[in-house]
């Protein structure tokens, strides 16, 4: 390693350490194993470029820019606790690197144990798979994405960083039966409901953590047909899962008060009840139950359907979730 390379290596390591200190100060990374992963996995290798928005549209920042000031902006963004837009198509965001503190919170909530086999839905840049591989070892980690360009890019990033989990091109809604069974499934893309195929590929006692309705649902799997759990308190906004998803019907929100529509928790309830509860009924429920936070809601997956609920799966407030095409 030459002197310049050594300087760059030290600069990246210092930037990672500063990010980890910032995340720890904010209450993330209580688990020493995940703290070590975020300290040692080089995020800059997974985001060699990204896009930042502005009045004139998106601007591309990259690590090989000849302009030193722009290179510095790129580096500061890479090791900031912010999400990064990494892939655009037709002006639309199709892939991103999530906010590191949110990633850390999700990984800690996944509650992995030594020897657990993990399936990640949504390969993204490969950074999350690298963190999982650091914690569990390459052989126990599988990441799947529908877009072959994304999986190829993620694979290259992972190899550059020294990690070699299984990177699979396929429909995430179908899981990855060739690599099953799994002890944990984590999704890094938003879902309309929980695919039944995932449960069938889980061992009994497995845990599924996935973005749903601007929240994060944590499900405990009983068997191939049954899972249940509560939402975490954390808000979560992810790029939608592409593949076997059914398109949601547009909602008519006329007449709803602006104050409610601007409230994050009410928007969560609207998203969770889309297609099954009139928005004005949702507003009535929201007021009656004193603006319930996300963690009062949950989801049940059973042989006879899949539904969300407030406080109690068998209580008075329950409604079906939108499903996947073909289910």
Q: How far apart are CA 180 and CA 14, in angstroms?
A: 38
Give 244-271 pLDDT, tens digit per residue: 544 455 556 767 898 999 999 999 999 9
The predicted structure's pLDDT at residue 240: 83
Q: 183 and 203 in contact (C-beta within 8 Å)?
A: yes
Residue 206 DSSP symbol: E
pTM of the predicted protein model: 0.91
- Expressed in angstroms, the distance from the first to the final Cα of the chain is 54
> Could you list the active site residues?
95
Report the range out of 45-59, 207-221, 233-247 with the highest average pLDDT: 207-221
Distances (CA, A) of 33 to 135, 156, 179, 285: 7, 25, 25, 42
- What strand order describes the sheet that includes 49-52? 59-62, 49-52, 84-89, 92-97
The predicted structure's pLDDT at residue 84: 92
The predicted structure's pLDDT at residue 295: 97
The predicted structure's pLDDT at residue 239: 81
Distances (CA, A) of 254 to 213, 236, 248: 20, 25, 18
Which residue in the block uniquely carries the two structure tokens 């994405």? Answer: 145
Q: Two tokens at 88?
A: 């655009």
Give 92-148 pLDDT, tens digit per residue: 666 778 899 999 999 999 999 999 999 999 999 999 999 999 999 999 999 999 999
Residue 325 — pLDDT band, cuts 50, 70, 90? Answer: very low
Q: 105 Cβ partners below 8 Å, 6+ apart? A: 28, 232, 234
Domain coordinates of the chain in residue numbers?
A: 3-170, 258-320
Distances (CA, A) of 239 to 58, 84, 122, 214: 17, 12, 10, 11
CATH class of the domain whose range is 3-170: alpha beta
Residue 1 has pLDDT above 70, yes or no: no
Q: Two tokens at 268?
A: 């969560």
């Amino acid at each position: 390693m030459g002197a310049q390379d050594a300087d760059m290596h030290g600069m990246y390591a210092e930037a990672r350490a500063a990010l980890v200190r910032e995340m720890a100060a904010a209450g993330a990374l209580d688990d020493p194993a995940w703290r070590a992963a975020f300290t040692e996995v080089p995020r800059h290798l997974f985001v060699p470029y990204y896009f930042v928005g502005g009045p004139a549209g998106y601007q591309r920042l990259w690590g090989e820019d000849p302009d030193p000031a722009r290179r510095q902006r790129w580096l500061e963004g890479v090791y900031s606790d912010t999400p990064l837009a990494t892939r655009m198509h037709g002006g639309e965001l199709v892939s991103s690197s999530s906010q590191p503190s949110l990633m850390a919170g999700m990984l800690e909530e996944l509650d992995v144990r030594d020897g657990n086999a993990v399936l990640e839905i949504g390969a993204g840049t490969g950074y999350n798979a690298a963190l999982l591989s650091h914690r569990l070892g390459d052989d126990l980690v599988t990441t799947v994405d529908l877009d072959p360009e994304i999986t190829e890019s993620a694979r290259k990033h992972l190899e550059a960083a020294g990690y070699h989990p299984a990177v699979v091109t396929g429909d995430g809604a179908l899981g990855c039966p060739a690599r099953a069974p799994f002890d944990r499934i984590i999704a890094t893309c938003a879902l309309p409901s929980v695919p039944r195929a995932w449960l069938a590929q889980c061992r009994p006692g497995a845990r599924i953590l996935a973005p749903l309705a601007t929240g994060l649902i944590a499900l405990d799997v009983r068997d191939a047909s049954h899972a249940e759990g509560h939402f975490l308190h954390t808000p979560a906004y992810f790029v939608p899962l592409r593949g076997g998803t059914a398109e949601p019907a547009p909602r008519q929100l006329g007449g709803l008060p602006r104050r409610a529509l601007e409230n994050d928790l009410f928007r969560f309830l609207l998203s969770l009840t889309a297609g099954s509860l009139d928005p004005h009924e949702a507003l009535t429920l929201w007021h009656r139950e004193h603006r319930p936070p996300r963690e009062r809601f949950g989801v049940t997956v059973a042989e006879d359907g899949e539904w969300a609920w407030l406080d109690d799966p068998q209580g008075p407030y329950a409604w079906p979730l939108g499903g996947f095409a073909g289910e």
